[in-house]
Amino acid sequence: MTMDLKRLYYVKRGEQITGPYPLGLIQRHILIGRIADTDELSVDRKEWKTLDSLVELMPAVLTDDPSEEGVKERLLRARRWADERSGIDRRQDQTPEETGFWERRRGGERRAPEDEDVVRARLQRQQMVQEARRAGRENLFTARVVAWSLLLVVCAYLLFYRPVPESAGANCNASARPQINWDNCQLEGVNLPGVDLRRASLKNTNFSGASLSGGKLRDADLSYAVLSITDLTSADLSRAKLLGASFRNADLRGARLDNADLSYSDLSGAVLTGASLLGAKLDHAIWVDHRPCLAGSIGGCLQKRTSE
């Protein structure tokens, strides 16, 4: 079974078959344990292979050497990002009869056992939400900052974004090369370390969870691209157009962003240790601390004082 970004996959557990699902969703389910090593996958419902024999479908973050520095933290961030559950079991208030009904309907638990850190993080997130609700107006200032930040991003999107259909020269199945057109392509979780995408057109492309470490992206157009939890360590993004791009929880250690246009981009939670931002434009960007940068921010994020 070869890797195809547009291929749909069926999942078989016992006698139960579900799907078809796109590759990105399959990789998210693998990441949070919804698909186990013993589950079988197929593209035609005829030839089935177990997940443990389909290494090419594994998200890049799961194939990294766990002994390397930062790998475990990247994996935890990736799982937290991919986990859409609220942390509360909706069946906890049901009667035994109701619970049995849902178990029969779903065929038992769909997820494999999860990492304790992931479970703990989800429960802590739920607790924080509940505490914030009880706090009421105590965090009014933070809420206003977030609201204005979101408004700025939405305004930028409406003013500048112009969707480019895939038919207009984009080829999502083409091999990576300089000046490639991958506009609007779904490339979640791809493993492309050291890739050469100089001057490529990557507008609105989804690279979430991908590995682009050491990649050459100089002068590339990544306007409104999704690079959340993406490994961009030591990548060269000099002079790249990154207007409105999302770098939420991305790893940008040692990356070069010199003279890049990061206006209205979202760098919330990103790791920028050793990154170079010489001449980078950060007008109205959301900084790593979730606070907005002022207009005229060059080479760093200028912010209002909290006392103002």
| Structure token digits, residue 77 | 């961030």
**184 and 247, same domain (yes or no):** yes
Provide the pLDDT confidence category of residue 108 given band limits of 50, 70 and 90: very low
Residue 308 pLDDT > 50:
no
- Comparing 40-49, 94-103, 240-249, 252-261, the range with the smallest average pLDDT is 94-103
- Residue scoring higher pLDDT (137 or 192): 192
Q: Report if residue 291 sits inside a domain.
A: yes
Q: Mark which of 106, 131, 162 sits at the end of a domain.
A: 106
289 and 179 in one domain?
A: yes
- Is 209 in the same domain as 94? no
What integer pLDDT is reported at residue 183 of this predicted model?
93
Q: Tell whether 63 and 178 lie within a shared domain.
A: no
* pLDDT attached to residue 164: 42
Q: Establish if 203 belongs to a structural domain.
A: yes
Q: How confident is the model at residue 4 (pLDDT cuts 50, 70, 90)?
A: low
- In a domain, residue 276? The reply is yes
Cα 255 from Cα 307, distance rounded (Å): 33
Most trustworthy range by pLDDT among 43-47, 111-115, 152-156, 249-253:
249-253
For the ranges 20-29, 141-150, 210-219, 292-301, the lowest mean pLDDT is seen at 141-150
Are both 72 and 163 inside the same structural domain? no
pTM of the predicted structure, to 2 decimals: 0.50
Domain end point (choices 86, 106, 126) = 106
Clarify whether residues 284 and 156 are in a common domain: yes
Domain contains 164: yes
One domain for residues 197 and 264? yes
For 233, residues 6+ apart whose C-beta sits below 8 A from its C-beta are: 213, 214, 251, 252, 253, 254, 255
Shared-domain flag, residues 86 and 157? no
The model's confidence at residue 8, banded by pLDDT at 50, 70 and 90, is confident
Number of domains in the chain: 2
Give domain status of residue 131, yes or no. no
pLDDT at position 178 is: 95
Q: Are residues 174 and 306 in the same domain?
A: yes
Classify residue 126: in a domain, yes or no: no
Provide the Cα torsion 264, 74, 178, 2; round to 10°: -130
Which pLDDT does position 38 carry in this prediction? Answer: 85
Q: What is the CATH number of the domain that holds 21?
A: 3.30.1490
Q: Assess if residue 211 is contained within a domain.
A: yes
Same domain, 102 and 152: no
Does residue 303 register a pLDDT over 60?
yes
pLDDT(2) > 50 = no
Q: Are residues 190 and 266 in the same domain?
A: yes
What is the per-residue pLDDT for 256? 96
| Whether the predicted pLDDT of 115 surpasses 90 | no
Query: How many other C-beta atoms are found inside a 10 Å radius of the C-beta of residue 22?
Result: 16
Among 106, 140, 172, give the residue marking a domain's end.
106
Q: Which tens digits make up the pLDDT trace of 243-266?
A: 999 999 999 999 999 999 999 999
Which domain does 216 fall in, by range? 148-308
pLDDT band, very low/low/confident/very high, at 102 (cuts 50, 70, 90): very low
The sign of the CA dihedral 264, 270, 274, 275 is: negative
According to DSSP, residue 109 is labeled -
> Is 247 part of a structural domain of the chain?
yes
Give the model confidence (pLDDT) of 137-150 as tens digits. 555 666 666 677 77
Same-domain status, 99 and 170: no
CATH number at residue 171: 2.160.20
